[in-house]
């Protein structure tokens, strides 16, 4: 909606100007295109049978891929000696976004498989990957991303049946 307002505000000066610079429309139009693409992808994904993709090791693979992408950012920092910019592929992909999706898929798969997380060993294995993700994010340093990963984890294990006394520890 905001992009449409920006385009409409800039249209009148564009029509009155003989120079007619089209570059001012590039970013808003790109954002509208990305929004429409994301909406179409989300509507397509809602039609898929999630049970088919939750079997086997796919959630584990996604978590490991997310961890490796976070680690790749740290390796890039060590090799170049520059501060971490947290972007891959020339500034178009942030591994944290992939890590969030992988985390939700992994925790939902794990909680469904184990039933509940009342036993310490089940809770430990549910927390090991999110804690590793948070540590990698803190090393970048991305404190906001680490806190967000931990909040997602806390909420999902709470819904998954962890006793309230665990939160007091």
pLDDT higher than threshold 70 for residue 2: no
The pTM for the full model equals 0.61
Say how many domains are in the chain.
2
**Token pair 């549910």 in the structure block, residue:** 126
Question: Residues 41, 57: one domain?
Answer: no
pLDDT digits (tens, 9 = 90+) for 50-97: 677 666 666 666 777 777 776 776 676 666 766 665 565 556 667 777
Question: Residues 37, 94: one domain?
Answer: no
Question: Residues 38, 54: one domain?
Answer: no
pLDDT digits (tens, 9 = 90+) for 108-153: 888 887 777 777 777 788 888 888 888 877 877 778 888 999 999 9
**Contacts by 150-153 with C-beta closer than 8 Å and gap 24+?**
152/100, 152/103, 152/104, 152/107, 153/103, 153/107, 153/126, 153/127
pLDDT digits (tens, 9 = 90+) for 4-24: 665 565 555 555 555 556 666
């Amino acid at each position: 909606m905001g992009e449409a307002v920006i385009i409409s505000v800039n249209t009148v000066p564009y029509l009155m100007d003989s120079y007619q610079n089209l570059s001012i429309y590039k970013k808003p139009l790109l954002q509208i295109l990305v929004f429409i693409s994301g909406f179409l992808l989300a509507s397509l994904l809602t039609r898929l049978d999630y049970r088919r993709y939750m079997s086997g090791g796919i959630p584990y693979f996604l978590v490991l891929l997310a961890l490796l992408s976070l680690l790749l950012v740290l390796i890039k920092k060590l090799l170049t000696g520059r501060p971490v910019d947290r972007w891959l592929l020339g500034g178009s992909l942030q591994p944290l976004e992939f890590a969030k999706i992988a985390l939700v898929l992994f925790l939902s798969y794990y909680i469904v498989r184990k039933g509940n997380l009342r036993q310490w060993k089940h809770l430990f294995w549910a927390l090991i990957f999110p804690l590793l993700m948070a540590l990698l994010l803190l090393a970048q340093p991305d404190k906001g991303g680490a806190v967000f990963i931990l909040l997602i984890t806390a909420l999902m294990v709470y819904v998954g049946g962890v006793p309230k006394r665990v939160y007091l520890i």
